[in-house]
Amino acid sequence: MDKLLLYCEINVLCAVMLFIMAAKVSKEAFGNSAKRKVFVASIFFAAVLNLMDIVWQLGIYDVLHISHAMMHVINCVYFLCFGISSYLWLVFSEIIHKILLYKNKLLFALSMLPLFLFVVLAGASVNTGWFFYFDAAGVYRRGPLFLLQYVLTFCYVFMAAGISLCRLFSRKVYARREDYMLMLSFVVPPIVCSVLQYLLQPLPILSASFVLGFSLVFTSSMQTEISLDALTGINNRRKVLLELENNVRSLPKGKKLYFLFLDVDDFKSINDLYGHYDGDKTLQTVADALRAVCKTTGGICGRYGGDEFVMVQQLEENDDIRIVCSLIHDKVSEFNDNSDSDYDVSVSVGYSVFGGDGDDVQSLIQRADKQMYSRKRDGSKRRK
Protein backbone atom coordinates (compact mmCIF):
# COMPACT_ATOMS: atom_id res chain seq x y z
CA MET A 1 0.00 0.00 0.00
CA ASP A 2 2.93 2.35 0.64
CA LYS A 3 4.09 1.81 -2.96
CA LEU A 4 0.60 2.65 -4.23
CA LEU A 5 0.51 5.83 -2.17
CA LEU A 6 3.92 6.90 -3.48
CA TYR A 7 2.87 6.05 -7.05
CA CYS A 8 -0.28 8.16 -6.76
CA GLU A 9 1.52 11.05 -5.07
CA ILE A 10 4.10 11.24 -7.87
CA ASN A 11 1.38 11.15 -10.53
CA VAL A 12 -0.68 13.83 -8.78
CA LEU A 13 2.39 16.04 -8.43
CA CYS A 14 3.27 15.57 -12.11
CA ALA A 15 -0.30 16.30 -13.22
CA VAL A 16 -0.49 19.46 -11.10
CA MET A 17 2.86 20.69 -12.44
CA LEU A 18 1.73 20.07 -16.02
CA PHE A 19 -1.58 21.88 -15.51
CA ILE A 20 0.26 24.84 -13.96
CA MET A 21 2.71 24.85 -16.86
CA ALA A 22 -0.16 24.78 -19.36
CA ALA A 23 -1.73 27.78 -17.64
CA LYS A 24 1.57 29.69 -17.70
CA VAL A 25 2.23 28.89 -21.35
CA SER A 26 -1.27 30.00 -22.37
CA LYS A 27 -0.50 33.45 -20.95
CA GLU A 28 3.22 34.05 -21.36
CA ALA A 29 5.03 31.84 -23.88
CA PHE A 30 5.05 31.42 -27.65
CA GLY A 31 3.75 34.57 -29.28
CA ASN A 32 2.41 32.55 -32.23
CA SER A 33 -1.17 31.58 -31.35
CA ALA A 34 -1.18 28.21 -33.16
CA LYS A 35 2.13 27.25 -31.58
CA ARG A 36 0.83 28.11 -28.12
CA LYS A 37 -2.46 26.23 -28.51
CA VAL A 38 -0.77 23.07 -29.77
CA PHE A 39 1.84 23.11 -27.01
CA VAL A 40 -0.80 23.66 -24.30
CA ALA A 41 -2.95 20.84 -25.72
CA SER A 42 0.03 18.48 -25.71
CA ILE A 43 0.70 19.32 -22.06
CA PHE A 44 -2.99 18.88 -21.19
CA PHE A 45 -3.19 15.34 -22.58
CA ALA A 46 0.06 14.46 -20.79
CA ALA A 47 -1.54 15.66 -17.54
CA VAL A 48 -4.70 13.60 -18.16
CA LEU A 49 -2.42 10.63 -18.83
CA ASN A 50 -1.12 10.97 -15.26
CA LEU A 51 -4.64 11.01 -13.84
CA MET A 52 -5.60 7.90 -15.80
CA ASP A 53 -2.49 6.19 -14.48
CA ILE A 54 -3.72 6.82 -10.94
CA VAL A 55 -7.11 5.25 -11.70
CA TRP A 56 -5.35 2.28 -13.30
CA GLN A 57 -3.20 1.64 -10.24
CA LEU A 58 -6.16 1.97 -7.90
CA GLY A 59 -7.88 -0.70 -9.98
CA ILE A 60 -4.81 -2.97 -10.05
CA TYR A 61 -4.48 -2.78 -6.25
CA ASP A 62 -8.26 -3.34 -5.95
CA VAL A 63 -8.74 -0.09 -4.02
CA LEU A 64 -11.38 0.67 -6.64
CA HIS A 65 -13.43 -2.31 -7.74
CA ILE A 66 -13.18 -1.95 -11.51
CA SER A 67 -14.24 -4.66 -13.95
CA HIS A 68 -11.68 -6.16 -16.29
CA ALA A 69 -13.50 -4.71 -19.29
CA MET A 70 -13.34 -1.23 -17.76
CA MET A 71 -9.63 -1.71 -17.03
CA HIS A 72 -9.15 -2.27 -20.77
CA VAL A 73 -10.98 1.01 -21.40
CA ILE A 74 -8.79 2.84 -18.88
CA ASN A 75 -5.66 1.39 -20.48
CA CYS A 76 -6.91 2.47 -23.92
CA VAL A 77 -7.63 6.02 -22.74
CA TYR A 78 -4.21 6.18 -21.05
CA PHE A 79 -2.33 5.28 -24.23
CA LEU A 80 -4.63 7.41 -26.40
CA CYS A 81 -3.68 10.41 -24.25
CA PHE A 82 -0.07 9.33 -24.67
CA GLY A 83 -0.49 9.13 -28.45
CA ILE A 84 -2.43 12.40 -28.82
CA SER A 85 0.10 14.27 -26.69
CA SER A 86 2.91 12.80 -28.82
CA TYR A 87 1.10 13.69 -32.06
CA LEU A 88 0.55 17.27 -30.88
CA TRP A 89 4.26 17.44 -30.10
CA LEU A 90 4.92 16.45 -33.71
CA VAL A 91 2.62 19.26 -34.90
CA PHE A 92 4.37 21.69 -32.54
CA SER A 93 7.69 20.57 -34.01
CA GLU A 94 6.38 21.14 -37.55
CA ILE A 95 5.30 24.67 -36.62
CA ILE A 96 8.78 25.34 -35.21
CA HIS A 97 10.33 24.03 -38.44
CA LYS A 98 7.75 25.88 -40.58
CA ILE A 99 6.93 22.83 -42.70
CA LEU A 100 3.30 22.17 -41.60
CA LEU A 101 2.92 18.65 -43.00
CA TYR A 102 -0.22 18.16 -40.91
CA LYS A 103 -2.15 20.50 -43.25
CA ASN A 104 -1.77 18.00 -46.10
CA LYS A 105 -4.85 15.73 -45.99
CA LEU A 106 -3.03 12.64 -47.25
CA LEU A 107 -0.11 13.07 -44.85
CA PHE A 108 -2.54 13.76 -42.01
CA ALA A 109 -4.42 10.53 -42.76
CA LEU A 110 -1.16 8.57 -42.89
CA SER A 111 -0.02 10.09 -39.61
CA MET A 112 -3.23 8.87 -37.95
CA LEU A 113 -2.51 5.22 -38.85
CA PRO A 114 -0.50 4.40 -35.69
CA LEU A 115 -3.29 5.70 -33.43
CA PHE A 116 -5.95 3.92 -35.50
CA LEU A 117 -3.99 0.66 -35.33
CA PHE A 118 -3.60 1.07 -31.58
CA VAL A 119 -7.36 1.52 -31.07
CA VAL A 120 -8.08 -1.60 -33.17
CA LEU A 121 -5.54 -3.72 -31.30
CA ALA A 122 -6.66 -2.34 -27.93
CA GLY A 123 -10.25 -3.33 -28.72
CA ALA A 124 -9.18 -6.79 -29.84
CA SER A 125 -6.99 -7.17 -26.77
CA VAL A 126 -10.09 -7.48 -24.57
CA ASN A 127 -10.60 -10.97 -26.02
CA THR A 128 -7.10 -11.83 -27.28
CA GLY A 129 -4.94 -10.47 -24.45
CA TRP A 130 -2.48 -9.04 -26.99
CA PHE A 131 -1.64 -6.00 -24.87
CA PHE A 132 -2.47 -7.42 -21.43
CA TYR A 133 -4.89 -9.76 -19.73
CA PHE A 134 -6.01 -10.98 -16.32
CA ASP A 135 -5.37 -14.64 -15.53
CA ALA A 136 -7.78 -17.02 -13.84
CA ALA A 137 -6.77 -15.64 -10.45
CA GLY A 138 -7.49 -12.08 -11.59
CA VAL A 139 -3.80 -11.12 -11.70
CA TYR A 140 -2.64 -8.62 -14.33
CA ARG A 141 -0.31 -10.06 -16.99
CA ARG A 142 1.47 -8.44 -19.92
CA GLY A 143 0.50 -9.69 -23.37
CA PRO A 144 2.79 -10.56 -26.30
CA LEU A 145 2.23 -7.13 -27.92
CA PHE A 146 2.60 -5.14 -24.71
CA LEU A 147 5.53 -3.05 -25.99
CA LEU A 148 3.68 -2.26 -29.22
CA GLN A 149 1.43 0.09 -27.22
CA TYR A 150 4.43 2.32 -26.54
CA VAL A 151 5.73 2.08 -30.11
CA LEU A 152 2.42 3.06 -31.73
CA THR A 153 1.71 5.96 -29.39
CA PHE A 154 5.25 7.27 -28.97
CA CYS A 155 6.30 7.08 -32.62
CA TYR A 156 5.28 10.71 -33.23
CA VAL A 157 7.98 11.96 -30.89
CA PHE A 158 10.53 9.95 -32.88
CA MET A 159 9.18 11.52 -36.09
CA ALA A 160 9.61 14.99 -34.59
CA ALA A 161 13.14 14.10 -33.48
CA GLY A 162 13.96 12.82 -36.97
CA ILE A 163 12.79 16.08 -38.57
CA SER A 164 14.85 18.09 -36.08
CA LEU A 165 17.91 15.94 -36.71
CA CYS A 166 17.68 16.49 -40.47
CA ARG A 167 17.20 20.24 -40.04
CA LEU A 168 20.07 20.42 -37.58
CA PHE A 169 22.58 19.70 -40.33
CA SER A 170 21.02 22.06 -42.86
CA ARG A 171 23.21 25.10 -43.50
CA LYS A 172 20.18 27.12 -44.61
CA VAL A 173 18.71 27.26 -41.08
CA TYR A 174 21.92 27.90 -39.14
CA ALA A 175 20.29 30.53 -36.89
CA ARG A 176 17.71 28.05 -35.59
CA ARG A 177 20.06 25.26 -34.56
CA GLU A 178 19.42 25.91 -30.88
CA ASP A 179 15.71 25.29 -31.51
CA TYR A 180 16.45 21.99 -33.22
CA MET A 181 18.80 20.87 -30.45
CA LEU A 182 16.03 21.63 -27.97
CA MET A 183 13.49 19.62 -29.98
CA LEU A 184 15.94 16.71 -30.00
CA SER A 185 16.54 16.97 -26.26
CA PHE A 186 12.80 16.57 -25.58
CA VAL A 187 12.86 12.97 -26.78
CA VAL A 188 15.67 11.87 -24.44
CA PRO A 189 13.83 11.85 -21.05
CA PRO A 190 10.80 9.86 -22.33
CA ILE A 191 13.01 7.27 -24.05
CA VAL A 192 15.18 6.72 -20.98
CA CYS A 193 12.20 6.76 -18.64
CA SER A 194 10.16 4.42 -20.86
CA VAL A 195 12.89 1.80 -20.52
CA LEU A 196 13.03 2.33 -16.76
CA GLN A 197 9.21 2.24 -16.57
CA TYR A 198 9.22 -1.11 -18.38
CA LEU A 199 11.83 -2.51 -16.00
CA LEU A 200 10.52 -0.88 -12.81
CA GLN A 201 6.74 -1.07 -13.26
CA PRO A 202 5.78 0.05 -9.70
CA LEU A 203 7.09 3.60 -10.28
CA PRO A 204 5.55 6.25 -12.63
CA ILE A 205 8.89 7.23 -14.13
CA LEU A 206 7.37 7.99 -17.54
CA SER A 207 5.11 10.62 -15.96
CA ALA A 208 8.12 12.46 -14.57
CA SER A 209 9.80 12.39 -17.99
CA PHE A 210 6.96 14.39 -19.54
CA VAL A 211 7.26 17.04 -16.86
CA LEU A 212 11.01 17.24 -17.46
CA GLY A 213 10.66 17.38 -21.26
CA PHE A 214 7.96 20.05 -21.30
CA SER A 215 9.82 22.06 -18.65
CA LEU A 216 12.95 22.12 -20.82
CA VAL A 217 10.98 23.50 -23.76
CA PHE A 218 9.00 25.98 -21.66
CA THR A 219 12.00 27.49 -19.89
CA SER A 220 13.94 27.66 -23.14
CA SER A 221 11.04 29.40 -24.88
CA MET A 222 10.97 32.07 -22.19
CA GLN A 223 14.69 32.68 -22.70
CA THR A 224 14.63 32.74 -26.49
CA GLU A 225 11.71 35.17 -26.59
CA ILE A 226 13.99 37.68 -24.89
CA SER A 227 15.65 39.18 -27.96
CA LEU A 228 17.81 41.88 -26.35
CA ASP A 229 21.28 41.53 -24.87
CA ALA A 230 21.02 42.34 -21.15
CA LEU A 231 24.26 44.34 -20.91
CA THR A 232 24.18 46.44 -24.08
CA GLY A 233 20.47 46.70 -24.87
CA ILE A 234 20.96 45.81 -28.55
CA ASN A 235 19.86 42.58 -30.23
CA ASN A 236 21.30 39.34 -28.88
CA ARG A 237 23.03 36.76 -31.05
CA ARG A 238 19.92 34.70 -31.72
CA LYS A 239 17.83 37.68 -32.78
CA VAL A 240 20.37 39.15 -35.19
CA LEU A 241 21.06 35.74 -36.79
CA LEU A 242 17.34 35.25 -37.34
CA GLU A 243 17.25 38.67 -38.99
CA LEU A 244 20.18 37.63 -41.18
CA GLU A 245 18.39 34.44 -42.14
CA ASN A 246 15.23 36.38 -43.03
CA ASN A 247 17.25 38.83 -45.14
CA VAL A 248 18.92 35.96 -47.00
CA ARG A 249 15.51 34.47 -47.83
CA SER A 250 13.85 37.72 -48.93
CA LEU A 251 16.59 39.96 -50.33
CA PRO A 252 14.96 42.53 -52.67
CA LYS A 253 16.08 42.69 -56.28
CA GLY A 254 18.79 45.29 -56.85
CA LYS A 255 20.06 45.05 -53.26
CA LYS A 256 23.24 43.57 -51.82
CA LEU A 257 23.32 41.96 -48.39
CA TYR A 258 26.39 42.34 -46.17
CA PHE A 259 27.27 40.71 -42.87
CA LEU A 260 29.76 42.62 -40.73
CA PHE A 261 31.75 41.06 -37.89
CA LEU A 262 33.32 43.37 -35.28
CA ASP A 263 35.77 42.70 -32.47
CA VAL A 264 36.89 45.22 -29.82
CA ASP A 265 40.64 45.77 -30.04
CA ASP A 266 42.71 44.91 -26.95
CA PHE A 267 39.57 44.25 -24.92
CA LYS A 268 41.38 41.82 -22.60
CA SER A 269 43.93 44.53 -21.77
CA ILE A 270 41.14 46.98 -20.91
CA ASN A 271 39.59 44.40 -18.60
CA ASP A 272 42.91 43.55 -16.97
CA LEU A 273 44.14 47.14 -16.52
CA TYR A 274 40.91 48.97 -15.71
CA GLY A 275 38.61 46.25 -14.37
CA HIS A 276 35.39 44.62 -15.50
CA TYR A 277 33.30 47.73 -14.88
CA ASP A 278 35.26 49.59 -17.55
CA GLY A 279 35.16 46.50 -19.73
CA ASP A 280 31.36 46.50 -19.58
CA LYS A 281 31.37 50.25 -20.19
CA THR A 282 33.46 49.69 -23.33
CA LEU A 283 30.99 47.13 -24.66
CA GLN A 284 28.13 49.55 -24.02
CA THR A 285 30.01 52.31 -25.86
CA VAL A 286 30.52 50.11 -28.92
CA ALA A 287 26.87 49.03 -28.81
CA ASP A 288 25.69 52.65 -28.63
CA ALA A 289 27.94 53.52 -31.58
CA LEU A 290 26.57 50.63 -33.63
CA ARG A 291 23.02 51.63 -32.76
CA ALA A 292 23.76 55.13 -34.07
CA VAL A 293 25.27 53.71 -37.27
CA CYS A 294 22.24 51.50 -37.89
CA LYS A 295 19.94 54.46 -37.37
CA THR A 296 21.76 56.14 -40.27
CA THR A 297 22.19 53.14 -42.58
CA GLY A 298 19.06 51.13 -41.77
CA GLY A 299 21.14 48.14 -40.67
CA ILE A 300 20.54 45.69 -37.83
CA CYS A 301 23.18 45.25 -35.12
CA GLY A 302 23.63 42.83 -32.28
CA ARG A 303 26.06 41.47 -29.73
CA TYR A 304 27.41 38.12 -30.90
CA GLY A 305 29.10 37.23 -27.62
CA GLY A 306 31.95 38.48 -25.42
CA ASP A 307 33.52 41.48 -27.16
CA GLU A 308 32.19 40.51 -30.60
CA PHE A 309 29.43 42.38 -32.40
CA VAL A 310 27.70 41.82 -35.73
CA MET A 311 25.69 43.87 -38.17
CA VAL A 312 23.36 43.02 -41.06
CA GLN A 313 23.28 45.64 -43.78
CA GLN A 314 21.42 45.93 -47.08
CA LEU A 315 22.83 48.35 -49.66
CA GLU A 316 22.07 49.36 -53.21
CA GLU A 317 24.11 47.61 -55.91
CA ASN A 318 26.45 50.59 -56.40
CA ASP A 319 26.87 51.52 -52.71
CA ASP A 320 30.22 50.86 -51.03
CA ILE A 321 30.22 48.84 -47.80
CA ARG A 322 33.57 50.40 -46.87
CA ILE A 323 31.73 53.68 -46.21
CA VAL A 324 29.67 51.86 -43.58
CA CYS A 325 32.87 50.40 -42.07
CA SER A 326 34.42 53.89 -41.88
CA LEU A 327 31.25 55.19 -40.24
CA ILE A 328 31.51 52.45 -37.61
CA HIS A 329 35.10 53.42 -36.78
CA ASP A 330 34.16 57.11 -36.60
CA LYS A 331 31.14 56.53 -34.38
CA VAL A 332 33.06 54.26 -31.99
CA SER A 333 35.75 56.93 -31.66
CA GLU A 334 33.15 59.68 -31.20
CA PHE A 335 31.17 57.81 -28.55
CA ASN A 336 34.36 56.85 -26.72
CA ASP A 337 35.51 60.49 -26.63
CA ASN A 338 32.15 61.49 -25.17
CA SER A 339 32.41 58.83 -22.46
CA ASP A 340 35.51 60.45 -20.88
CA SER A 341 37.33 57.11 -20.69
CA ASP A 342 41.07 56.98 -19.98
CA TYR A 343 41.81 54.71 -22.92
CA ASP A 344 41.14 54.52 -26.65
CA VAL A 345 38.46 52.18 -27.94
CA SER A 346 38.61 50.85 -31.49
CA VAL A 347 37.23 47.88 -33.36
CA SER A 348 38.35 45.57 -36.13
CA VAL A 349 35.72 45.07 -38.82
CA GLY A 350 35.38 42.29 -41.35
CA TYR A 351 32.55 41.80 -43.79
CA SER A 352 31.17 39.37 -46.35
CA VAL A 353 28.58 39.76 -49.08
CA PHE A 354 25.78 37.32 -49.77
CA GLY A 355 26.51 35.50 -53.01
CA GLY A 356 22.99 34.38 -53.88
CA ASP A 357 22.06 30.77 -54.62
CA GLY A 358 24.56 28.35 -53.12
CA ASP A 359 25.54 30.75 -50.34
CA ASP A 360 24.22 30.45 -46.78
CA VAL A 361 24.23 32.08 -43.36
CA GLN A 362 27.03 29.95 -41.92
CA SER A 363 29.36 30.74 -44.82
CA LEU A 364 28.57 34.45 -44.54
CA ILE A 365 29.53 34.43 -40.87
CA GLN A 366 32.71 32.42 -41.43
CA ARG A 367 33.94 34.69 -44.23
CA ALA A 368 33.27 37.88 -42.27
CA ASP A 369 34.91 36.41 -39.16
CA LYS A 370 37.98 35.36 -41.15
CA GLN A 371 38.37 38.79 -42.73
CA MET A 372 37.93 40.52 -39.38
CA TYR A 373 40.76 38.53 -37.77
CA SER A 374 42.92 39.07 -40.83
CA ARG A 375 42.48 42.82 -40.49
CA LYS A 376 43.13 42.65 -36.78
CA ARG A 377 46.45 40.91 -37.47
CA ASP A 378 47.72 43.17 -40.24
CA GLY A 379 46.48 46.42 -38.71
CA SER A 380 44.65 47.51 -41.85
CA LYS A 381 41.27 47.95 -40.25
CA ARG A 382 41.17 51.72 -40.81
CA ARG A 383 42.73 51.78 -44.23
CA LYS A 384 40.15 49.65 -46.05
User: 228-280 pLDDT, tens per residue?
Assistant: 888 998 999 989 998 999 999 889 988 999 999 999 999 999 999 999 889 99
* Pair 217, 189: CB distance under 8 Å: no
Question: In CATH, what number does 2-224 get?
Answer: 1.20.1070
What is the rounded distance in angstroms from the CA atom of residue 384 to the CA atom of residue 375? 9
Q: Under CATH, to which class is 237-378 assigned?
A: alpha beta
Q: pLDDT band at 207, cuts 50/70/90?
A: confident
What is the rounded distance in angstroms from the CA atom of residue 106 to the CA atom of residue 26? 30
Nearest CA among 267, 265, 280 for reference residue 372:
265
Q: State pLDDT tens for residues 114-157.
A: 999 999 999 999 999 999 999 888 888 989 999 899 899 989 98
From the CB of residue 121, how many other CB atoms can be counted at a distance below 10 Å? 18
In this structure, which long-range contacts are made by residues 342-345, counting pairs with CB atoms below 8 Å and at least 24 apart in sequence? Answer: 342/274, 343/270, 343/273, 343/274, 343/278, 345/264, 345/265, 345/270, 345/282, 345/285, 345/286
**Domain positions in the chain:** 2-224, 237-378
Q: State pLDDT tens for residues 1-57.
A: 788 898 899 999 999 999 999 998 887 766 657 888 899 999 999 999 999 999 999
What values do phi and psi take at 348, rounded to 5? -100, 135
Look at residue 125 in the predicted model and tell me its pLDDT: 92
How large a percentage of the chain has pLDDT more than 70?
92
Nearest CA among 32, 363, 26 for reference residue 224:
32
